[in-house]
Each structure stands twice: as structure tokens, then as C-alpha cells.
Amino acid sequence: MRVDEVAAPQTVAEALAILKRRPDAVPWAGGTLLMTVESAAFGDKPASLLDLGGIAELTVINRSDRYLELGACVSLSAILALPRSLSLEPLRGAAGLVGTASVRNLATIGGNVAARGSFMTCFSALACMDAAMEIRDASGSRWSSIHTLVDEDGRPRFPRAALLTRIRVPTAPWDAASVHPLGMAPRGEAYPATFAAAARFEKETISELRLLAAGKRLVRDRALELSLVGKRLPLSAKDVDAARSAARDEAIEAELGAGPASLYGTYVASFLASIQEEGR
Ligand SMILES: Cc1cc2nc3c(=O)[nH]c(=O)nc-3n(C[C@H](O)[C@H](O)[C@H](O)COP(=O)(O)OP(=O)(O)OC[C@H]3O[C@@H](n4cnc5c(N)ncnc54)[C@H](O)[C@@H]3O)c2cc1C
């Protein structure tokens, strides 16, 4: 990446004014993805950077009874340092999978969610948790579901000339949650896709279930989830096996790669088997 110009706004309003003048300016948060994987996409073209590091309001963490609100520039280390009493799985587990401790000190949650090329590790966890995103651009500010950042083809679609400013994560506890990297990254991808799952039970019955994988594309089989919601625990071996095959087939169709797709099926099956025990 050849840097042509750097703007260092102190407020979100200033950053938006710069983006209005230079819609091609590239938001720079921790820079850990831009300096590595995304840098190649710029080639030798001069890039204009919008450094978000001086905007204090983007590093605020707020808590209410029902939500945790994270400024987009909150680091992954700061998320991992939040009290264990706060119900944050599977996000906490996903944040812990990213890089090393020194990478996580720089890496922000906003940079993880707003990555352009692939869904990064925290995306599947936040999608499981139905997180909401505050996105601001020249036309104003709006809250929308994280699912609006996925296009019809299951690929990332973060809007151009826009800033992710806050992420609202519901903190109602899940009875079971899980997150795992899906093996080695396939050729052409820097990081492996990530499996994330969460479930709630009521009276030994599955009342809510999320099963996802996210890499180049997001894989979520709502028909499979719905077929399992309402089932009594423990699930039959037949149901668990059918879920493994359905999940694997869905991931193959989404071109996650044969290895990750098969691992995804295995994690779906082992998550469903584990909730049999916990739900009893
Ligand atoms: C050694 C190493 C290992 C890594 N391992 C992993 C891994 O296992 N899993 C993983 O997910 N990542 C990994 N990463 C990549 C990276 O650390 C994370 O994805 C990180 O969360 C990105 O955050 P950042 O603040 O550094 O983003 P940046 O690099 O600053 O930005 C990333 C992208 O998001 C955009 N952006 C950033 N903030 C905003 C905003 N507020 N609004 C709009 N757009 C924005 C940028 O323009 C850019 O396109 C690794 C990196 C390194 C160096």
C-alpha cells in the first residue's frame, strides 16, 4: 500500500466530513489487517488513510441491563478483559482466537467486522448473537442488524464511505455456546473460516438455536435450525447425523472448501451432542 495522505480526525463528525470530501479514504483502526492481508488489494495505487485512532468516542464501552455497547475502536484485548460475569460467549471465545496478545492489543472489533474481503473471526460470533451495528455516513446514522452486512450471495458488503461507530451486543445468556476455527485457511485466504453456535433451552427443549460458519461467505442453514428448534433433549443420534450432513452440504455449496465444510459438519454434530448433556 502506497500512502498518499493521512487525515487524523478527533471526532466522528470530523471523520464523516473527511469521508464526504474523500469517499475513497480508507478507515484505519488498528491497521493489523490493512498492513497485512488487505494491503495487497491496493497494489501500487496511492491510498488516502483516515486514521480513527484519535477519536475517543470510538473507544467507549457502555453497559445496560440488556446490552453491551462497544465503540468500533475497542480493542479485542479490552473485550477479553471485560468481567467474566458478563455473558459474552461466543464473542469472547472468538476474540481470543485472533492472532497473538500483541495483535489483539492493536486489533479492533470494528476492523474485524468491517473487513472487506472475508468475514473475520468475530463476525460469526456476533451474527450468532444478533448484534446490531451503528453505521454513519454523510446521510446520517442508522442502527441495523449485522445480517445487513451480508449480501444475497452470502459475501461481505460493508458500505463505502461509511463508518462503523458502535456495536450493540445483547447480553442475555445462552445456555450453550461454541466457537472454533475451521482448520487451515484454504488457498487464497489468510485466515480459516470460523464456526460459531449458540442455543437456549426451555423445559428440556431447544427454544433457540444458531449454527453458522463464516469465511469467504457466511453459511447459515435456517431450515436446519428451525427443524431442530422445539425438539426435546436429548436429540436422537439420527437427528444429530442428519444435522452433520446438512451442515456439511450447505458449506460445500457455499464453497467453504471440502476440509472446512466437513469440519463444520463435525462441529455442528458435536455442539448438538454437547447440548444434549447440558440441557438435561
Ligand atoms: C499475526 C496476525 C494474526 C491474525 N489473526 C487473525 C485471526 O485469526 N482472525 C481474524 O479475524 N483476524 C486476524 N488477524 C487480522 C486482524 O488482526 C483482525 O481481523 C483485526 O480485528 C482487524 O482490526 P483492525 O483494527 O486492525 O482493522 P484495520 O486493519 O484497521 O481495518 C480492517 C478493515 O476494516 C476497515 N475499518 C476498520 N475500522 C472501521 C470502521 N470503524 N468503520 C469502517 N471501516 C473500518 C478498514 O478500512 C479495513 O478495510 C491477524 C493479524 C495478524 C497481524
Whose C-alpha lies nearest to ligand 1, atom 46? 27
CA distance 160 to 174: 34
Domain ranges, ordered by start, for the chain: 2-51, 56-170, 176-279
pLDDT tens for residues 60-117?
Answer: 999 999 999 999 999 999 999 999 999 999 999 999 999 999 999 999 999 999 999 9
Superfamily of domain 176-279: CO dehydrogenase flavoprotein, C-terminal domain (3.30.390.50)
Question: What number does the ligand 1 atom closest to the CA of 75 have?
Answer: 25
CA distance 165 to 60: 10
Residue 132 Cα to ligand 1 midpoint, Å, equals 19
The answer to whether the beta carbons of residues 247 and 221 sit under 8 Å apart is yes
Residue 37 has pLDDT above 80, yes or no: no
- CATH architecture assignment, domain 2-51: 2-Layer Sandwich (3.30)
CA distance 15 to 93: 31
Measure Cα distances from 26 to 19, 49, 111, 170, 261 in Å: 9, 5, 11, 29, 33
Whose C-alpha lies nearest to ligand 1, atom 50? 99
Whose C-alpha lies nearest to ligand 1, atom 7? 98
Place of cell 450447505: 250
Q: What is the pLDDT of residue 76?
A: 98
Residue 116 Cα to ligand 1 midpoint, Å, equals 10
Whose C-alpha lies nearest to ligand 1, atom 31? 111
Residue 106 Cα to ligand 1 midpoint, Å, equals 9
Question: What number does the ligand 1 atom closest to the CA of 109 have?
Answer: 21
The answer to whether the beta carbons of residues 198 and 129 sit under 8 Å apart is yes
- Domain 176-279 in the same topology as domain 2-51: no
**Mutate-to-test residue for ligand 1 from 32, 121, 141, highest number of ligand atoms within 8 A of CB:** 32
- Tell me the pTM: 0.96
- What CATH number belongs to 56-170? 3.30.465.10
Average pLDDT, the chain: 94
Beta strand 46-51 with 26-28 is parallel
Residue 279 has pLDDT above 60, yes or no: no
Q: What is the pLDDT of residue 133?
A: 98
Residue 208 Cα to ligand 1 midpoint, Å, equals 30
Residue 35 Cα to ligand 1 midpoint, Å, equals 9
